[in-house]
Structure 1
């Protein structure tokens, strides 16, 4: 069956991202594109779903039905572009991007290698070290040297600050699949990069974190910080298949 000339964007796990849906629509208007926006979420009351042309309920990523349900939505709604919004779904989308491409669907996602590296904090630390980029000292088990403490312990593939603890000694280790890192004290920055399909960073936005809730920034200040911008750009340059 031939695909409709109208473009369809799917925003996955849309949640409260009303502004994102509006931004997508505004960009489409600026480009004179006839765009339909479909959203998915595990909740029928996701606020941003009311910004979309169609909203589909799907189970959470942990549910065995998630992958097939998402593929069904993509096929039945003739989706052209899939836009992820939460890190727990990035691995699935990256591993599925080639199959989607064969269906004529573009996934707005970096390569599977890049995503796998970024989602695994131990792999990220190893990658940065191999590339000669600065990173906090990182271990796969709690160090035995008392002078190294306090140490931050966090899940290797965790998110939203869940499961993070500050250890005063090896005896405080809660166990599990964790990474252990030096505690860094000082201003914390988040960097957004716009990277084109060839992996070239085109723009950066550095924000100083002022208030954080559940690992996500809810108050920040945009700043000019040349060192942070340079380091973030170097990371993106080196990361294979960044987009």
Structure 2
């Protein structure tokens, strides 16, 4: 039996992701140890659910990567799984250090991460590849952009996530005089919102694309959702993969089917999304396929997942002491 050790970074509340990896390992015949780290592991449910937990500095601290390297070295970690966008940049820049220890970091190259972390570049690159995107302009241009005459828009941080700092702008008078960080002005989309999860294998082939409707969202993360199969989402996924040829592993993107302009892709996350457990339980076991790659086992990747699978999240608790 193959044995692997994985490290979930910025583990927070990602108990569901840990359970997906454990279930996948058992199904694939892999013996698995799950480690987790966070700034305050004693207050993290996922760290409590892991086989071992460690405190690390925040992702913006120069010591963050060093702390991760130390865990990998001391515990012979085979796979590091980041869970939040801001930590992707320092980890992607340090891939050679992890590889020297025999560990794979589940992160795409810096060129992919840089693009996904910049909403303006995301819109430009996806649009150039033929993916339908909302009109998007820098905040400075947006102050005088004629696009505002077409109706309301979103003002959002260019590198924001989890719906942080988003506001609706109805006209030039609603724009602030200045911003504390780079901002973009983007077409306000009105319609049902979906997340599409992708799995791209090590050869760069997209093996699966699973869409779910975001029925209810809390703090930017899907709370209730249902998988839906539509050729439109597969086509959008192929376009995103074509636009990001160096992307590897698990990614997801957000799309709103606007009632006037049709589908528009407006965000890419180059990591496991918060709603990944829904795709997993629908039969798209990306966690298993990732473990198979790391363990050098034959891939069971496929696109034969189930539509109509409903996820209803609820709050649970872990008790200690």
TM-score (norm 1): 0.92
Instruction: Give 1:229 deviation, angstroms.
Output: 2.1
2:196 is the counterpart of 1:191: yes
**1:112 aligned to which of 110, 113, 130:** 110
Instruction: Give 1:197 deviation, angstroms.
Output: 1.0
Residues of 1 paired with 2:222 and 2:216: CA distance? 6
Residues of 1 paired with 2:198 and 2:145: CA distance? 38
Q: Which residue of 2 aligns with 1:30?
A: 27
| SS class of match (2:223) | strand
Larger RCO: Structure 1 or Structure 2 (Cα < 8 Å, ≥ 6 residues apart)? 2
Residues 130 and 239 in structure 2, CA contact (< 8 A), matched pair in contact too = no
| 1:28-52 superposed Cα distances (whole Å, 9 cap, x missing partner) | 2223223221110122121122222
Instruction: Give 1:114 deviation, angstroms.
Output: 1.1
Unpaired stretches in structure 1, ≥5 consecutive residues: none
2:175 is the counterpart of 1:170: no
Q: Which residue of 1 aligns with 2:154?
A: 152
Instruction: Give 1:181 deviation, angstroms.
Output: 0.9
What aligned pairs does 1:1-243 form with structure 2 within 5 A after superposition? 6-43=3-40, 44-140=42-138, 141-142=141-142, 143-145=144-146, 146-174=148-176, 175-176=178-179, 177-243=182-248
Instruction: Give 1:6 deviation, angstroms.
Output: 4.4
Instruction: Give 1:187 deviation, angstroms.
Output: 0.8
Instruction: Give 1:102 deviation, angstroms.
Output: 2.3
Stretch deviating more after TM superposition (161-170 or 41-50) = 41-50
| SS class of match (2:130) | coil
Question: RMSD in angstroms over aligned alpha carbons?
Answer: 1.7
Residues of 2 paired with 1:6 and 1:158: CA distance? 37
Residues 22 and 51 in structure 1, CA contact (< 8 A), matched pair in contact too = no
| SS class of match (1:39) | strand
| SS class of match (2:37) | strand
Residues 65 and 94 in structure 2, CA contact (< 8 A), matched pair in contact too = no
Residues 137 and 182 in structure 1, CA contact (< 8 A), matched pair in contact too = yes
| 1:197-230 superposed Cα distances (whole Å, 9 cap, x missing partner) | 1121111111111111221111112112211221
TM-score (norm 2): 0.70
Residues of 1 paired with 2:51 and 2:217: CA distance? 32
Residues of 1 paired with 2:187 and 2:106: CA distance? 33
| SS class of match (2:203) | coil
Instruction: Give 1:190 deviation, angstroms.
Output: 0.5
Stretch deviating more after TM superposition (29-38 or 219-228) = 29-38
Instruction: Give 1:91 deviation, angstroms.
Output: 1.3
Residues 158 and 184 in structure 2, CA contact (< 8 A), matched pair in contact too = yes
Stretch deviating more after TM superposition (202-211 or 144-153) = 144-153
